[in-house]
Amino acid sequence: MSTHTGAPLSGRRTGFGSGAVMAAGAARRLDWVLIVSVAVLCAIGSLLVWSATLPGDGGDPMDSTGHLRRHLAHLAVAWVACLVVASVDFRTVRAYAPIVYLATAVALVLVLTPLGAVINGSRGWIVVGAFQFQPSELAKVGLVLVLATLLGEPRDGEIRPMTRDVLFCLLVLAVPLALVMLQPDLGTTLVLGAIFLGMLTFSGAPFVWVAGMIACGVAAVFCVFWFDLLEPYQLDRLATLVDPSADPQGAGYNSNQALIAVGSGGFNGTGLFQGEQTHGRFVPEQHTDFIFTVAGEELGFAGAALVIALFAVVIWRILRIALGCDQPYPRLLCVGVAAWFGFQTFINIGMGLGVMPVTGLPLPFVSYGGTAIMANMLGLGLVLGINSRDRGFE
């Protein structure tokens, strides 16, 4: 009797044990260097958001934690979403790519209806009661998924994307690009273009298309200036990029104050919660677009350099995962996320240092913002999901 009852119990223990072993194996296959680097960026960002949203009277930081609590709540939900996406086989995610793309396209259309709200000069938000949602952030995820599918799955008998594939990808790009330009949101438009160019370059598509896209970009810039397509405030921002002192109290105010804040930090910084420029509210939108200036002032050159180094590690680890992929689809997925994070980081930090025009792009994983943080974490989850499994197709 004891022999008869022992076998099922042993089988159950074995099943549980094998499940635990599988879970442990999946955890070991996660890129922990990438995860820890992003977690440290999130932690630094939380402190910077807290400091940037303190009242300017030098009160106790514990008396003003509203933005910090909301930021931490956004991070908690986004990390859960990241881990959920990472746990799903990327081949399953691929099947839902068209749905994600179409959903974000519909949301971008709704932005242009009465549901859309104008914030900081751009109609880029859907506001329903207390709920605010920025579809252009999630459009980056949808674009990466669809482009990876189209460019990463050549037709039978082909080893790389051909002209018809590239043309179809251009059509796919044109939809969110046009809708974002109508808001208008120049920063996100540039990010979408960078994602497309990065993925096209690494897809193996004919080089003439890559060169053609670059030439078209140059031609587009020329036409924008030739036909005077920019808004007056956008022209003013470009003018102050060339000469920040030309209008220090007008169009050049943001850039000038950002440089003052970064420069006042010196090497070691003024100390967390001790930045006079930050707490004096001299830099606009310092908890979102200009969060890097808070790092420059309060953490100094050492702290700002650490932030840049962490982003370098993040991009390196994502590209390392891409190089380890056996098939083009997961490889291009990683390249698209790397191009997104890398380009957006470059633009945001460049704004804070006065070497890039003000475009309103948040710093990934660091700036305050619910939709942006969610989109960043979804992108991270896609990459982690590829790395935690066999990177080739079975």
Q: What are the φ/ψ torsions at residue 250 (nearest 5 degrees)? A: -120, -110
Distance CA 374, CA 390 (A): 26
- Within the chain, how many helices (H) and strands (E) appear? 16, 3
- The pair of structure tokens assigned to 221 is 């810039």
Strand order in the sheet with 122-128: 116-119, 122-128, 131-133
Q: What are the φ/ψ torsions at residue 366 (nearest 5 degrees)? A: -115, -50
Q: Give the model confidence (pLDDT) of 86-145 as tens digits.
A: 999 888 888 999 999 999 999 999 999 888 888 777 788 888 777 788 999 999 999 999
- The pair of structure tokens assigned to 24 is 């442990």
Residue 71 confidence (pLDDT): 94
pTM of the model: 0.86
Higher pLDDT, 49 or 205: 49
Q: What pairs with residue 122 in β-bridges?
A: 119
Share of the chain above pLDDT 70, in %: 80
Q: Provide Rg for the chain, Cα atoms.
A: 23
Q: What are the φ/ψ torsions at residue 131 (nearest 5 degrees)? A: -85, 125
13 falls in which pLDDT band (50, 70, 90)? very low
Distance CA 208, CA 258 (A): 40
Q: Give the model confidence (pLDDT) of 222-260 as tens digits.
A: 666 665 556 665 555 665 656 666 655 555 677 778 888
Distance CA 267, CA 33 (A): 27
Among the listed ranges 48-57, 81-90, 240-249, 310-319, which one has the minimum average pLDDT value? 240-249
Higher pLDDT, 267 or 387: 267
Which residues, other chains included, contact 38 with Cβ-Cβ below 8 Å and sequence gap of 6+? 314, 365, 380
Residue 12 confidence (pLDDT): 42
Terminal CA-to-CA distance of the chain, rounded, Å? 44
Distance CA 305, CA 312 (A): 10
Among the listed ranges 12-21, 27-36, 174-183, 373-382, which one has the minimum average pLDDT value? 12-21
User: Is residue 344 scored above 90 in pLDDT?
Assistant: yes
Q: Which residues of 260-280 are buried (b: 16+ CB within 10 A; e: fewer)?
A: ebbebbeeebbeeeebebbbe
Among the listed ranges 62-71, 73-82, 145-154, 333-342, which one has the minimum average pLDDT value? 62-71
User: If 0-12 CB within 10 Å is exposed, 13-18 middle and 19+ buried, where does residue 46 land?
Assistant: middle
Residue 248 confidence (pLDDT): 59
pLDDT averaged over every residue in the chain? 83
Residue 242 confidence (pLDDT): 60
Which residues, other chains included, contact 94 with Cβ-Cβ below 8 Å and sequence gap of 6+? 145, 148, 149, 329
- The pair of structure tokens assigned to 220 is 């587009």
Higher pLDDT, 146 or 56: 146
Share of the chain above pLDDT 90, in %: 45
Among the listed ranges 1-15, 280-294, 317-331, which one has the minimum average pLDDT value? 1-15
Residue 393 confidence (pLDDT): 40
User: Is residue 328 scored above 60 in pLDDT?
Assistant: yes
Please, are residues 259 and 266 in contact by the beta-carbon 8 Å criterion? no
Residue 369 confidence (pLDDT): 86
CA-closest candidate to residue 337, choices 26, 126, 103, 34: 34
User: Is residue 21 scored above 60 in pLDDT?
Assistant: no
Average pLDDT over residues 42-68: 83
User: Is residue 60 scored above 70 in pLDDT?
Assistant: no
User: If 0-12 CB within 10 Å is exposed, 13-18 middle and 19+ buried, where does residue 149 land?
Assistant: buried
Taking the C-alpha atoms of 248, 251, 253 and 255 in order, what is their torsion angle to the nearest 10 degrees? -110
Residue 116 confidence (pLDDT): 84
User: If 0-12 CB within 10 Å is exposed, 13-18 middle and 19+ buried, where does residue 297 land?
Assistant: buried
* Highest averaged pLDDT of the listed ranges 1-5, 23-27, 249-253, 264-268: 264-268
Residue 281 confidence (pLDDT): 76
Neighbours of 259 (CB within 10 A): 19
Please, are residues 347 and 359 in contact by the beta-carbon 8 Å criterion? yes
